[in-house]
Structure 1
């Protein structure tokens, strides 16, 4: 049964195996979790810009795939939080696995010559994605998905730390910023889950706009979206350095980093 603070809306009763702390249909009749939905823009727009820039610069297709996979996560998450339907939940969660597999491939292939393909690693990651998808579709256990996703993230973090400590130490700022932002998001994700009842009670006493600041799952989107984008930037920076290019970071509108 939905919590008392939740309302009925356009998409009907939730069918997803997960519901988050944001009150359902509190802002819009057409969007189940408004703040959790619109916060996905950070997964959609900046990676699209990155994909366009990657294509224009003629960089390797795997980095184009990395940006587009991040966009796919954002679109899937938008649909999930807008509807709270199980099918849309899968559009959110499964692309998280697939995108991380692309990130792993990019990061572990940074120091290979151009136009080479690591078929064993490719096969391993495709198999991992396939097995996780099949098991999750049958098991329908969110904890399983979270563990499988966390495993991939851990692999990415370990490789990133190796690169910034021993290969290109001048990239530590970018690497540590990416990791710190992501961990901040993970921390707020846990706060949102553990203290949901208290957060909801607190929001009842606040004006809606002020209460929106306590939507920590939305902050998880913003911070992990930024952290993931910065990770792709780190991976791409590492790759271009290995290929003897001279990349530089430019800030669009003075705030958003892109690689040129």
Structure 2
């Protein structure tokens, strides 16, 4: 049974401004939050696979950058939850801001002309990321970071609804629902984990498989799958606009986008 108190490990006392609901160093002294760490595999494997598959489709570079941004969040989050050190916390949280700027650029340019570049949008997103980074490092206020990230998520949701309901672009209904439902499910679990930590810790001590109640780990899994779904939705939407006839296929529970191979 998982204890209700935190233990000591090789990384020492946490220096991060956040310490999540998982008890520290319960599974191994080498990983502060074991389940919160390994659950980041859902933000590491999907972007690696995506980079491999989209490289065969020769999509625009913005989608390579989206996968790399997604991967950086997964690796940063792994390091943060493994150590609970402030430097590793920044390695997790700042890529969330910068990576979301990449997602926003790719998504808002879904119906742009081929080979075009929206420099004003890129400059605005760069300014936003720099400003959030500067303010957050000065204030060290997690609420500020969460609000700045939430604003970006709302921007992605607004753009998705605009494309589907108002602009009526051709889109994949499966990818749209996949990304929205999974990310929302993850967010709900994150809120529950934040709001009822003491009750959840007590429940874990009495539960036969306490790992099942590691809700922040489930947030990683669902948010990772939802983010992967969004990148694929954005890629599909863009290539549908370019009339490249994209198709969606599944590898297990992961959807991917493929394009017809051009014949010589």
Instruction: With the length of structure 2 as denominator, give the TM-score of the two structures.
Output: 0.94
Tell me if the contact between 1:199 and 1:214 (Cα under 8 Å) persists in the aligned partners: yes
Q: How many residues align?
A: 255
* Deviation larger for 93-102 or 159-168: 159-168
Match of 1:206 in 2: 207
Match of 2:220 in 1: 221
Structural mapping, 1:176-255, within 5 Å? 176-207=177-208, 210-252=209-251, 254-255=252-253
Instruction: With the length of structure 1 as denominator, give the TM-score of the two structures.
Output: 0.95
Task: Specify the SS of the correspondent of 2:44.
Answer: helix
* Deviation larger for 162-171 or 143-152: 162-171
Match of 2:111 in 1: 111
Tell me if the contact between 1:181 and 1:227 (Cα under 8 Å) persists in the aligned partners: yes
Deviation at 1:251, TM superposition (A): 1.2
Question: Alpha-carbon deviations, 1:122-141, whole Å to 9, x = none?
Answer: 00000000000000000000
* Deviation larger for 50-59 or 168-177: 168-177
Match of 1:149 in 2: 149
Distance 1:173 1:66 in 2: 20
Distance 1:255 1:176 in 2: 14
Match of 2:140 in 1: 140
Match of 1:70 in 2: 70
Tell me if the contact between 1:69 and 1:95 (Cα under 8 Å) persists in the aligned partners: yes
Distance 2:157 2:178 in 1: 12
Match of 2:129 in 1: 129
Distance 1:94 1:46 in 2: 20
User: Alpha carbon RMSD of aligned pairs, Å?
Assistant: 1.3
Distance 1:75 1:85 in 2: 14
Question: Alpha-carbon deviations, 1:195-220, whole Å to 9, x = none?
Answer: 1001111111123xx11111000011
